[in-house]
């Protein structure tokens, strides 16, 4: 069953405050980003260079996005079961930004040292990417003693695949009208939501945002082709678990793109930047297959109680660093 074209989601350029207690994990840090005039002047000078500051050729502002997807957790198709997903401590996702209305506007991920921290109202840490040019890296589980496991509801149908990400992330942008450095300030929270919830508008995110997420979840076996998708395992039923670790041989150039709708804007001087980042515009979010850290990335386990005789195939999505669990039918042999 395809879940992409029929998505019905409210198209809103702004998002009202929602009661998402079932979807947002409790914050482990409530620190607020404090801005002072002295820090603002010094921080801008350090971020964009003293030459630009002295010349008065600087931009500084903030935008809030409706939501940002980090990854997805596949339902075990063809079963009556749930699947349980654990993000391991080496899991990272590296993001680059682009303005749909101004493709010539360069965004450079640049995380100041004092901003390499867990974002307020989340358990997500940001850091400067060491592997992807102009990118910021997000670490959903930065602490060794912190466990994050999410489950997909039973039964295993496409609508029960779960999407995970940040709700209403706020970004700081500083620089010039042609080049802006960016990092995250905070978010309203984190969410885990089923594909059916995305379709029916449970987050009240923009239609473009929602469809860009749903397109990343591919269930047509003919479309699961290398280099992005790699078959990792086949199972005929019963308790099954698989863990993926970072792989030095993985291609570094694979990417995928989603979009996020700008719902708030403050600051900025030039009309061209204000227009490019205006409320109602989309930002492109480009994800990289690069693995920033060695070690374990993701573990999934499921009882795989088949609804009919057959096997499940597990494909590794290199870009979103997650498994797809496909119903391969009754005629596929193991191996």
Cβ 277 vs Cβ 99: under 8 Å: yes
**Domain boundary assignment for the chain:** 37-329
What is the pLDDT at residue 96? 98
- Residue 94's Cβ-side half-sphere holds a number of Cα atoms within 13 Å equal to 24
- d(Cα 10, Cα 165) in Å, to the nearest integer? 19
What is the pLDDT at residue 290? 93
The residue among 251, 257, 322, 316 whose CA lies nearest residue 290 is 251
What is the pLDDT at residue 250? 66
What is the pLDDT at residue 46? 46
pLDDT in tens, the chain (335 residues): 333 333 333 233 322 222 333 333 332 233 232 222 233 434 443 444 444 444 446 999 999 999 999 999 999 999 999 999 999 999 999 999 999 989 999 999 999 988 888 899 999 999 999 999 999 999 998 776 676 889 999 999 999 999 999 999 999 999 999 999 999 999 999 999 999 999 999 998 999 999 999 999 999 999 999 999 999 999 998 999 999 999 877 666 799 999 999 999 999 999 999 999 999 999 999 999 999 999 999 999 999 999 999 999 999 999 999 999 999 988 544 44
The residue among 193, 122, 124 whose CA lies nearest residue 164 is 193
**Residues forming a β-bridge with 173:** 61, 182
Say if residue 71 is exposed, middle or buried (CB neighbours under 10 Å; 0-12, 13-18, 19+): buried
Cβ 323 vs Cβ 316: under 8 Å: yes
The residue among 122, 206, 140, 192 whose CA lies nearest residue 162 is 192
pTM to 2 decimal places: 0.83
Cβ 7 vs Cβ 199: under 8 Å: yes
HEC-encoded secondary structure of the chain: CCCCCCCCCCCCCCCCCCCCCCCCCCCCCCCCCCCCHHHHHHHHHHHHCHHHHHHCCCEEEEEEECEEEEEEECCCCCECCCEEEEECCCCCEEEEEEECCCCCCEEEECCCHHHCCECECCCCEEEECCCCCCCEEEECCCCCCCCCEEEECCCCCHHHCEEEEEECCEEEEEEECCEEEEEEEECCEEEEEEHHHHHHCCCCCCHHHHHHHHCCCCCCHHHCCCCCEEEEEEECCCCEEEEEECCCCCCCCCEEEEEEEEEEEEECCCHHHHHHCCCCCEEEEEEECCCCCCCEEEEEEECCCECCCCEEEEEEECCCCEEEEEEEECCCCCC
Q: Which residues contact 28 (CB under 8 A, 6 or more apart)?
A: 118, 123, 146
Cβ 275 vs Cβ 251: under 8 Å: no
How is residue 120 written in tokens?
């307020």
Q: What is the dihedral of CA 9, 11, 12, 17, to 10 degrees?
A: 0
């Amino acid at each position: 069953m395809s879940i992409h074209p029929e998505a019905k989601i409210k198209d809103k350029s702004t998002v009202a405050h929602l009661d998402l207690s079932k979807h947002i994990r409790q914050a482990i840090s409530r620190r607020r980003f404090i801005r002072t005039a002295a820090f603002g002047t010094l921080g801008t000078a350090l971020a964009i260079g003293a030459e630009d500051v002295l010349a008065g050729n600087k931009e500084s502002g903030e935008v809030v996005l409706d939501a940002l997807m980090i990854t997805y957790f596949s339902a075990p198709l063809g079963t009556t079961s749930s699947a349980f997903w654990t993000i391991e401590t080496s899991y990272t996702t590296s993001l680059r930004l682009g303005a749909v209305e101004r493709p010539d506007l360069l965004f450079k991920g640049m995380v100041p040292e004092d901003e390499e921290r867990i974002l307020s109202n989340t358990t997500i840490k940001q850091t400067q990417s060491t592997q992807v040019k102009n990118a910021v890296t997000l670490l959903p589980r930065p602490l060794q003693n912190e466990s994050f496991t999410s489950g997909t509801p039973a039964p295993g149908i496409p609508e029960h695949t779960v999407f995970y990400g940040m709700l209403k992330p706020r970004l700081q942008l500083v620089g010039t009208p042609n080049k802006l450095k960016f990092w995250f300030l905070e978010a309203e929270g984190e969410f885990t939501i089923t594909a059916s919830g995305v379709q029916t508008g449970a987050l009240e995110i923009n239609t473009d945002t929602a469809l860009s997420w749903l397109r990343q979840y591919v269930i047509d076996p003919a479309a699961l082709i290398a280099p992005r998708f790699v078959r990792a395992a086949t199972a005929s039923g019963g308790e099954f678990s698989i863990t993926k670790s970072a792989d030095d041989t993985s291609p570094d150039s694979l990417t995928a793109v989603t979009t996020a709708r700008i719902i708030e804007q403050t600051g900025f001087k030039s009309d061209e930047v204000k227009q490019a980042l205006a409320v109602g515009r989309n930002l492109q979010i480009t994800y990289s297959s690069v693995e920033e850290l060695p070690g374990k990335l993701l573990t999934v386990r499921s009882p795989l109680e088949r609804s009919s005789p057959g096997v499940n195939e597990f494909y590794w999505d290199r870009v979103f660093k997650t498994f797809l669990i496909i119903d391969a039918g009754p005629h596929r042999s193991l191996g």
